Amino acid sequence: MQNASHWERVKGWLFHAFPHHLVSRITFRLTRLNIWLKDPLVRLYIRAFDVDMCEALEPNPRAYPSFNAFFIRALKPGARPIPIEPNAIACPADGRISQLGNIDNDRVVQAKGQDFSVVELLGGSHERAVPFINGKFCTIYLSPRDYHRVHMPATGRLIEMVHVPGRLFSVAPYAPRVIPRLYARNERMAAIFATPFGPMAVVMVGAVNVSAIETAWSGLVTPPAGKSIRSVDYTNSAPIIDLERGQEMGRFNMGSTAILLFGEGAVAWKPSLQIGESVKMGRRLGCSLVKPARDYVQAFSQEKAIASEI
């Protein structure tokens, strides 16, 4: 718990006894009500968090039927330009870079003195984690004022979706410093893609008051939370889920964290990126270091077969 204040440690301890799921389910229902309180609540929220409504597709706060509809508001076309370079990796979400860098074997840095494993992040499967060993990661925290849809960092085909039940600890900036293995303990949805640059995972991590995580291809993933890990293999399913770079892949109904994973030697982050830096969806985070594979789905299958033998 280095660099954490005494009060931050106390808050982290208190969160262990907090009824995360109960509070979040109440939030789920309240934020979907169309009642008179909705409009003043939205206006208060905009002022409190300095939300920029000029970039919203619907700039009139009163036009949203519920607080949740306002929260997951769409942006105007062109509000988030996507890089034109074919090898560029685009930022998946608005927010702040919490951490980024190298995956050390299968360990991912959460904060100074805190880390977790790719295996546990992806639901306990060694086979699922092998393609990302010694790869790259980037963790982006979405604050209450941010745009809360998550987009594709690179063009890819969905291979597998994994829903991992868990706690709903806060992911506020202090939390990674005081709650061990936070992102590998909270409820989360991991989407594994085959891309021209190799395997890619986008992990959407839930948090307290994150009353729902949903995807573009299957709708609500949670709630209900469930008690066991659920995995859906899309390699032999219909229809095939192909998504372009910059296309929406999911959304948080209330804010949280997105973690991006790539394999060893696949990408390089921009040297100028700094921990704590604010970023926007679509910004160039880095570039691919490998020649794009034409049949990247077959290449992924071959890597998966090798991983199953390790």
CA distance 208 to 200: 26
Catalytic residue among 20, 21, 94, 211, which? Answer: 94
Catalytic residue among 24, 170, 211, 256, which? Answer: 256
Going by C-beta distance under 8 Å and a sequence separation of 6 or more, which residues neighbour residue 111?
Answer: 3, 98, 99, 176, 177
Backbone angles phi, psi at 303, to 5 degrees: -65, -40
Nearest to 221 by CA among 261, 188, 256: 188
Encoded tokens for 37? 């309180």
Backbone angles phi, psi at 24, to 5 degrees: -70, -35
The question of whether 151 is a catalytic residue gets the answer yes
Nearest to 166 by CA among 226, 221, 122: 226
Catalytic residue among 151, 170, 211, 288, which? Answer: 151
SS3 108: strand
The question of whether 94 is a catalytic residue gets the answer yes
Q: Which residues are catalytic?
A: 94, 151, 256
